[in-house]
């Protein structure tokens, strides 16, 4: 737009752009008096002053005036949900799809603030959401995994686990849907992360990894659709149960290790999860665990190592992040082994790693080689379980075992624990029967069993 129609003033009152980095609502009522007429239009729109807007526009003010953030009066009215103001501005010649400095339109703002009547009104006048960043022109180029969003029924939708996951009904089956908000469309890094996650999910097929079903990429909002596991995540399970019995913890650990080994042994490139934590591990109907949420995962190509462009993502739990990631160093599959060791110890101890230390301080403690304490009885950490955990969170990544090695050791531990349980169960059932048999023999020395024993 021509800078002549753009002011150096910034409209700060009320709801701000849906894509602005900070959307603080100003409570300062500075009024519209004394402002230049063009900026005053935005304040009148915020106040819902129909007469004032008509008077201002009749005096020659530009209905499409933009402030320093490229916002218009229509943006303001859409944010506030003022349908009568939106209708008036459009009737007086307002553009229906102007983009502010962050790429947000009045329709995107109305959607963000859930002003549904304004959404319908803007769409009636031809407003459209920006085209999906992954949209293709040729129908032959539409991905095989593409799902028509009209097939997803969110009528009884509820949020699940963390982030933007919801339950939906798809072709008669409950599925989990991860939605990218409208604010993501203008963020190239988040769009790339979404594309990378799709690339990974397409390649993955394993009983201990959540199953990818499809995606919505040709329209907005974009979505990833995966199998729905109604029993929730490991974080919620541990919160309910607390410390687990060693045999249960080892069984769960084997599920995680098998899923992670599959990812790390993936050909031609290994897959590093890099966000392995209890809330990203889900339980299926049979009680087995599946690794989920590949939002920050990486493919290890020729270099065999990765380095973050930015420090740890805000959605990542810092309690499970390996020190080399926090220090912004190159890393490989061993970052997942570090996280795994923490999870295994948490299942046995029943408390978060380094609890109650503030989460932001935890990675600094890991860098200083501080690790969670082993508070449970030594009888719990049997058959080399403690030593395995300590190797997993070793400060030197190359000294940490691979998941293939971890599986071998966990299978051995699980076998010995299962054998001990069988003997323990036998002690509760077999020995009382033997005692009863001996008592019968003592009272009836002429019985056949007594003769056999005496012989």
Q: What is the pTM of this model?
A: 0.66
- Output the pLDDT for position 443: 63
* Mean pLDDT, range 212-221, rounded to an integer: 85
- Answer for the pair 326, 367: CB distance below 8 angstroms, yes or no: yes
Q: Where are the beta strands (DSSP E) in 296-356?
A: 298-300
Cα distance between residue 343 and residue 354, in whole Å: 12
The hierarchical CATH code for the domain 139-227 is 3.30.200.20
Verify whether residue 275 is a known catalytic residue. Answer: yes
- Output the pLDDT for position 37: 67
Active-site entry in 275, 293, 332, 336: 275
List Cβ<8 Å contacts ≥24 apart for 190-195: 191/133, 191/134, 193/295, 193/296, 194/134, 194/222, 194/224, 195/134
- Output the pLDDT for position 20: 61
- Output the pLDDT for position 189: 74
Residue 424 has pLDDT above 90, yes or no: no
In a 3-state reduction of DSSP, which class is residue 333?
coil
HEC readout, 212-232? EEEEECCCCCCEEEEECCCCC
**For the chain, domain boundaries:** 3-124, 139-227, 234-412
Angle, vertex CA 141, rays to CA 205 and CA 202, nearest 5: 10
Cα distances (angstroms) measured from residue 102 to each of 21, 32, 95, 130, 367: 9, 25, 17, 12, 37
Check residues 432 and 389 and name the one with the higher pLDDT: 389
* Mean pLDDT, range 312-326, rounded to an integer: 78
Segment among 49-58, 143-152, 245-254, 433-442 with least mean pLDDT? 433-442
- Is the fold of 3-124 the same as that of 139-227? no
* Mean pLDDT, range 127-146, rounded to an integer: 68
**pLDDT tens-digit series, residues 236-256:** 999 999 999 999 999 999 999
- Cβ–Cβ contacts within 10 Å for residue 88, how many? 20
Segment among 113-117, 153-157, 307-311, 423-427 with least mean pLDDT? 307-311
Residue 421 has pLDDT above 90, yes or no: no
- Output the pLDDT for position 113: 82
C-alpha gyration radius of the chain? 31
**pLDDT tens-digit series, residues 37-89:** 678 899 999 999 999 999 999 999 999 999 888 899 999 999 999 999 999 99
* Mean pLDDT, range 361-387, rounded to an integer: 94
Check residues 187 and 382 and name the one with the higher pLDDT: 382
- Cβ–Cβ contacts within 10 Å for residue 145, how many? 16
CATH fold for domain 3-124: 1.25.40
Cα distance between residue 194 and residue 253, in whole Å: 28
- Answer for the pair 88, 50: CB distance below 8 angstroms, yes or no: yes
Give the CATH class of 234-412: mainly alpha
């Amino acid at each position: 737009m021509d800078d002549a129609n753009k002011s150096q003033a910034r409209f700060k009152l009320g709801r701000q752009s849906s894509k602005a980095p900070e959307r603080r609502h100003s409570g300062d009522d500075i009024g519209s008096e004394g402002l230049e007429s063009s900026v005053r239009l935005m304040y009148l729109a915020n106040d819902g002053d129909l007469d004032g807007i008509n008077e201002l526009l009749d005096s020659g003010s530009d209905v499409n005036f933009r402030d320093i953030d490229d916002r218009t009066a229509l943006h303001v009215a859409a944010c506030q949900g003022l349908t009568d103001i939106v209708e008036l501005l459009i009737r007086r010649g307002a553009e229906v799809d102007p983009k502010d400095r962050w790429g947000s339109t009045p329709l995107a703002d109305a959607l963000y603030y859930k002003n549904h009547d304004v959404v319908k009104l803007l769409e009636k006048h031809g407003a459209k959401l920006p085209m999906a960043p992954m949209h293709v022109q040729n129908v032959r180029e539409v991905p095989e995994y593409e799902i028509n969003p009209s097939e997803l029924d969110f009528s009884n939708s509820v949020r699940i686990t963390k982030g933007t996951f919801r339950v939906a009904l798809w072709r008669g089956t409950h599925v989990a849907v991860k939605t990218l908000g409208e604010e993501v469309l203008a963020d190239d890094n988040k769009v790339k992360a979404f594309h990378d996650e799709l690339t990974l999910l397409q390649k993955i097929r394993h009983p201990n990894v959540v199953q990818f079903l499809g995606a919505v990429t040709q329209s907005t909002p974009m979505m990833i659709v995966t199998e729905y596991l109604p029993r929730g995540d490991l974080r919620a399970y541990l919160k309910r149960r607390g410390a687990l019995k060693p045999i249960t913890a080892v069984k769960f650990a084997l599920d995680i290790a098998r899923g992670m080994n599959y990812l790390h042994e993936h050909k031609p490139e290994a897959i590093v999860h890099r966000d392995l934590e209890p809330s990203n591990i889900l339980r299926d109907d049979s009680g087995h665990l599946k690794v989920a949420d590949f939002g920050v995962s990486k493919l290890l190509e020729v270099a065999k190592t990765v380095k973050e462009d930015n420090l740890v993502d805000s959605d990542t739990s810092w309690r499970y992040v390996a020190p080399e990631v926090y220090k912004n160093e190159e890393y490989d599959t061993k970052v997942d082994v570090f996280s795994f060791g923490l999870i295994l110890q948490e299942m046995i101890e029943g408390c978060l790693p380094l609890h109650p230390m503030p989460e932001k301080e935890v990675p600094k403690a890991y860098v200083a080689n501080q690790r969670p304490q082993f508070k449970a009885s030594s009888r719990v950490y049997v058959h080399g379980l403690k030593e395995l955990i300590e190797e997993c969170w070793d400060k030197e990544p190359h000294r940490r075992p691979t998941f293939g090695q971890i599986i071998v050791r966990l299978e051995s531990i699980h076998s010995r624990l299962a054998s001990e349980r069988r003997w323990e169960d036998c002690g509760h059932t077999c020995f009382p029967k033997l005692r009863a048999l001996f008592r019968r023999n003592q009272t009836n020395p002429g019985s056949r069993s007594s003769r056999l024993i005496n012989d």
